[in-house]
Amino acid sequence: MILCLPPLFFKLEIYEDSKTQSSSYDIEEWKKKFLFPSIEKCYKYLKNNSYFTLYIVDYHIAQYIDDMFKYIEKKKLFNYIGNIYVYNEITKKIRNIFVWKKIIKNFEYIDNKYYIIKELNYNKNFYLFRGRPYTIYYNKDYIPFLKKIVNGKYIEINNIKEINDIKKNIFIIYKYNNDDNIIKKINKLHNIYFNGFIRLYNNITQKIDVICCWYYGNTINSNLYNPKFIIEKYKYRNKHVNVISDQYLIGGTKQRAIVEMLEQIKEDIIIYAGPTIGYAHIALSYASFLTKKKFVFFASDKNVTNLIKISKLYGIDVRYHNNYNQAKEESLIFHKKTNSYYISFGANDKLFNDILYKNIMKAWTIEKPKVIWIVAGSGTLLNILYKVFPKTFFNVVQVGKKIWDDMLDLKRTKLYVSPITIYNNARIKPPYNSVINYDAKLWEFFIKYGNNGDYIWNVGGDIDY
């Protein structure tokens, strides 16, 4: 279902001079008494998972789009999907139509600090264990649903003592009852790996049951960190684009290698220096969490980003600095004083590179693309993809650190340079979830220079916290 709301303008068109008309308000009254209530009504009458579109523009006496977005986000009414661009051949102008998707308010957020995952409609065995959990509706008993979800041997426990009698290679299920201590204790046990949460909505009680899930075995299941790639198709004007959607992985693309890398490292302390807006620290935090190692992150800035907040949920030890040189210097000093493993910027490590190459080859099960668009910083991922896709042409967008010619395969690479600084957001938001000050910046280049059937490698997505 799609609800298209007619254009809402302040005083662009005045139908009659009456106090009953919204045009009688000042701009602040108009927003509070007309614009926002109109949006609320649309939410009320829309079915779940339906779409809401609105054509609205700021003009010289009325600036309200920013406040509208903030209001929708604060009220958690809709998820912003992107824009539809309509070209008027008479006026030669492009109209921008905003598109949102309805959020089910009561089901969308759970108030506990372990709720850190995103929705992923994929592999039925594991798709509830990565990303935000999918909501399942049931009337009485949730056990039949668990059998379908886990699709393997499992046992439900009521307390931590019951784990002592459990044999390995089985899923452990625990119904969350606001006891964070039991989750922490189970996470610390040997050979037990946290898989995530299953969220079940009871139609009778109208409450959400949160089921915690661990895997008890000798190794971490590779589906947790290196699942098969998800390719999502999007259409922009007359062009179709295929998005390689690693935003569904908690730690983005680099997560595919870092877990195995840490399993092979004997040191229990992991050190890394880099920016807070990068995805490397999330991948390292998540991998350290799974492998039960300590991760110390030397941040090159003092921004407490949403990415940092998520990493903190996995036990990251963050040490803030004024710049990268300072962070790197302090990290090396700390490394010399401790029995630790130092990971270089961008995780450009031979062990990491070899594992990532192997795992991408393993997880890629479809025909190899002719053209891939990708954002590059350290160049680590790009150079691995050169090996994975030896006949693919790459459109590379530089967003931060300068990309030198010797970092590129110039015969099959076109370099574009984003004029937007690393800490500023992309000017045009893509129709898929992407890091707004990093990967999302390639979208405006694809709009201008991309072709039908191109692929976009989306390393990670923005995270709401």
- How high is the pLDDT of residue 213? 72
Dmax over CA atoms of the chain, in Å, equals: 78
- How high is the pLDDT of residue 41? 86
Distance CA 339, CA 463 (A): 33
Which stretches of 330-370 are assigned E, i.e. beta strand?
340-343
Distance CA 392, CA 357 (A): 15
What is the pTM for the complete model shown?
Answer: 0.63
CATH number of 255-349: 3.40.50.1100
Q: Taking the mean position of all CA atoms in its chain, how far away is CA 379?
A: 21
- How high is the pLDDT of residue 153? 65
Query: CATH 3.40.50.1100 spans which residues of the chain?
Result: 255-349
Strands 93-102 and 78-88: antiparallel
- Sheet containing strand 93-102, edge to edge, reads 2-5, 51-55, 93-102, 78-88
Backbone angles phi, psi at 394, to 5 degrees: -115, 130
- How high is the pLDDT of residue 209? 65
Residues in the chain: 465
- How high is the pLDDT of residue 440? 92
- How high is the pLDDT of residue 377? 81
Backbone angles phi, psi at 442, to 5 degrees: -80, -15
Q: What is the pLDDT along the chain (465 residues), one digit of tens a residue?
A: 565 655 555 555 554 555 555 556 677 888 888 888 888 888 888 877 788 888 887 766 667 788 888 888 777 788 777 778 777 777 777 777 888 888 654 333 332 222 223 332 333 323 333 333 333 333 334 444 455 445 556 666 677 777 666 676 676 667 766 666 777 777 777 777 776 666 665 555 656 667 777 777 777 777 778 888 889 899 888 889 999 988 878 788 988 999 999 999 999 999 999 988 878 898 899 889 888 899 999 999 998 887 888 788 778 999 999 999 999 999 999 999 999 999 988 677 889 999 999 999 999 999 999 999 999 887 889 999 999 999 999 999 998 778 889 889 999 999 999 998 877 888 888 988 888 888 999 999 999 999 999 999 999 887 654
Q: Which residue from 1, 12, 90, 115 is spatially nearest to 56, judged by alpha carbons? A: 12
Strands 192-202 and 207-216: antiparallel
Contact 160, 186 (CB under 8 A): yes
- How high is the pLDDT of residue 52? 85
- CA angle 218/364/197 to nearest 5° reads 50
Q: Which residue from 13, 9, 108 is spatially nearest to 62, judged by alpha carbons? A: 9
Q: Which residue from 345, 341, 254 is spatially nearest to 300, judged by alpha carbons? A: 345
Q: Hey, what CATH class is 2-103 in? A: alpha beta
Distance CA 35, CA 42 (A): 11
Which stretches of 360-400 are assigned E, i.e. beta strand?
371-376, 393-398
Out of 1.10.1760, 1.10.10, 3.40.50, 3.30.519, the CATH code matching 231-251+351-458 is 3.40.50
Q: At what angle do helices 65-75 and 36-45 cross, to 10 degrees?
A: 40
Contact 432, 234 (CB under 8 A): yes
CA dihedral defined by 29, 35, 36, 42, rounded to 10 degrees?
Answer: 160
